[in-house]
Amino acid sequence: MVVRSGGYNAQKTSMQHPLAQKVVDAVTAAQGKVVLTPTLGGSLPLFVFEQYLKTPPITVPIANHDNNQHAENENIRLKNLFDGIVTFASIMLLPK
């Protein structure tokens, strides 16, 4: 029998949440078009933000789909990088 320990709870922020809507608006403004992204899986301890900080976490990926994540030849296309800079600047300028 294998006993696994550690790990963390799953977490998902509704796209209907007001903060999520603000982020969608900021990304749309930065990119000049509505950008649709499916729900992404991964292991990030995002539940901590909700549990301890009482705020919903929202991730905004900018990597290309073929970036070989965590491999020795991991990469990001320069367009993705520069678009990401504009996108994150737009998000950082959101009013409180």
The average confidence (pLDDT) of the chain is: 90
Would you state the pLDDT for residue 17? 92
Whole-model pTM: value is 0.80
Would you state the pLDDT for residue 43? 73
Separation CA 63–CA 86 (nearest Å): 14
Looking up tokens 């209907």, which residue turns up?
Answer: 16
Would you state the pLDDT for residue 7? 79
Whether the per-residue pLDDT at 36 is higher than 80: the answer is no
Banded pLDDT at 35 (limits 50, 70, 90): confident
For 34, residues 6+ apart whose C-beta sits below 8 A from its C-beta are 24, 28
Would you state the pLDDT for residue 20? 92
Would you state the pLDDT for residue 1? 84
Q: pLDDT of 56-93, one tens digit each?
A: 999 999 999 999 989 999 999 999 999 999 999 999 99
For 32, residues 6+ apart whose C-beta sits below 8 A from its C-beta are none
Whether the per-residue pLDDT at 10 is higher than 90: the answer is no
Identify the helix (H) or strand (E) that includes residue 27. Answer: helix 18-31
Answer for the pair 24, 16: CB distance below 8 angstroms, yes or no: no
